[in-house]
């Protein structure tokens, strides 16, 4: 009996058998393949458990610490990202990804069907899963699973000492910092690396759509947004959580990402005594990040004049740190300080690739 056939047979019988999944599977493998070697036995057990309780064939890639992301294209093609390089590695059986998603999402209370064809959620191990099905995903189901890395990256890994020294000075003087960059450029990793350098007695309140920031401190409060559910639970969005966070006495407020109405509450908080706060946003550069922040505030408060929005933004953000990924390596590319506007080079201090470092001026 081939390895795949054995797993198929074990899963078929295990579905109708009560008990702990691994215990049931182990007994079935021993009965159906008594002559299997220890290696074959272990592979069959792991494969069957992954299919019944986990992500089936995708589990083997999520267990590999060198892989950053696992992707499924067209419902069957499996790709991985390792060191910034994408490569095809496997093919799923037709229909298998639908079964995998239904099983995994059932534990999170989320749904994925024609009425809700897009889902973004956190798995039990901390990995972040985004899935889109037909007809929205033309050509078949598309899935991205970004692994939750247990490995903690040091702040020193993001650049030479003079550049990293500027970030440490921002921490020491309790500057409000916006970290910008493209998708998977290292924004969240940089925020976590910076905050891990704080004294453990500082109370940090983190607000995220999907919990990702890993800060090993005994005085940490983590708040995660919740979407509405099919059984009637109402959504709790990031804007509500930001307002709640301010009442939880944070020494530092961390907003995982600016992307919606939460930006207005956060910017106002940053500008009213909540120093030392951090957040991230998607942008192509540091100046673009400030422009994006203005746009988000304008959407949240359309009656505000642009001059008032610009003033609010530049008074609430002390520095923008832009990170980028080059050849698989994530590093700080630019640091700017908005000082009274950002329409031109005046009022900005820029650090690029460690070639020129200037001390960030304190706000006048």
Which domains does the chain show, CATH number per domain? 1-53 (no CATH), 61-151 (3.30.450.90), 155-336 (3.40.50.300)
* Residue 102, pLDDT score: 83
Confidence of residue 231 (pLDDT cuts 50, 70, 90): low
Mean pLDDT along residues 294-322? 90
Q: Please give the C-alpha separations between residue 123 and each of 107, 154, 256, 360, in angstroms, as whole numbers.
A: 9, 25, 17, 40
* Residue 230, pLDDT score: 65
* Residue 357, pLDDT score: 36
* 360 pLDDT higher than 70: no
Residue of 223, 248, 222, 227 whose CA lies nearest to 237: 227
Tens of pLDDT, residues 273-299: 788 999 999 999 998 999 899 999 999
Q: Give the DSSP H or E segment for 267.
A: helix 262-270
Q: What percent of the chain has pLDDT over 70?
A: 89
Tens of pLDDT, residues 323-358: 998 877 889 998 988 865 444 444 444 433 333 334
Average pLDDT, the chain: 83
- The single-letter DSSP state of residue 90 is E
Residue of 318, 215, 207 whose CA lies nearest to 263: 207
Residue of 152, 196, 181 whose CA lies nearest to 331: 181
More confident residue, 282 or 259: 282
* 31 pLDDT higher than 60: yes
Residue of 262, 226, 257 whose CA lies nearest to 245: 262
* 188 pLDDT higher than 60: yes
* Residue 149, pLDDT score: 64
**Dihedral angle of Cα 167, 169, 174, 175, to the nearest 10 degrees:** -60
* Residue 340, pLDDT score: 55
């Amino acid at each position: 009996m081939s390895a795949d056939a054995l797993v198929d047979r074990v899963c078929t019988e295990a579905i109708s058998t009560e008990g702990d999944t691994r215990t049931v599977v182990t007994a079935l493998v021993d009965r159906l393949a008594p002559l299997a070697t220890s290696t074959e036995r272990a592979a069959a057990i792991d494969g069957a458990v992954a299919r019944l309780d986990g992500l089936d064939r995708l589990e083997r890639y999520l267990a590999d610490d060198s892989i950053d992301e696992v992707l499924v294209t067209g419902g069957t093609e499996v790709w991985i990202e390792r060191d910034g390089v994408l490569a095809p590695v496997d093919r799923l059986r037709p229909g298998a990804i639908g079964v995998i998603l239904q099983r995994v999402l059932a534990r999170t209370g989320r749904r994925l069907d024609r009425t809700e064809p897009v889902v973004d959620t956190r798995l039990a191990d901390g990995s972040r899963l985004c899935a889109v099905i037909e007809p929205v995903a033309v050509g078949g189901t598309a899935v991205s699973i970004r692994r939750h890395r247990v490995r903690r990256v040091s702040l020193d890994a993001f650049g030479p000492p003079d550049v990293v020294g500027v970030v440490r000075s921002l921490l020491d003087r309790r500057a409000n910092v916006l970290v910008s960059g493209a998708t998977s450029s290292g924004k969240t990793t940089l925020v976590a690396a910076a905050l891990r350098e704080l004294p453990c007695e500082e109370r940090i309140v983190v607000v995220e759509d999907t919990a990702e920031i890993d800060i090993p401190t005994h005085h940490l409060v983590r708040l995660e947004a919740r979407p509405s559910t099919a059984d009637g639970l109402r959504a709790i969005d990031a804007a509500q959580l930001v307002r709640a966070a301010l009442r939880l006495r944070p020494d530092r407020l961390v907003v995982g990402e600016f992307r919606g109405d939460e930006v207005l509450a956060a910017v106002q908080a940053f500008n009213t005594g909540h120093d030392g706060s951090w957040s991230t946003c998607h942008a192509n550069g540091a100046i673009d990040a400030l422009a994006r922040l203005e746009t988000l505030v304008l959407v949240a408060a359309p009656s505000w004049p642009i001059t008032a929005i610009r003033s609010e933004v530049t008074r609430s953000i002390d520095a923008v740190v832009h990170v980028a990924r080059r050849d698989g390596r994530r590093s700080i590319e630019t640091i700017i300080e908005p000082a009274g506007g950002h329409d031109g080079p005046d009022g900005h201090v820029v650090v690029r690739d460690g070639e020129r470092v200037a001390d960030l001026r304190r706000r006048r």
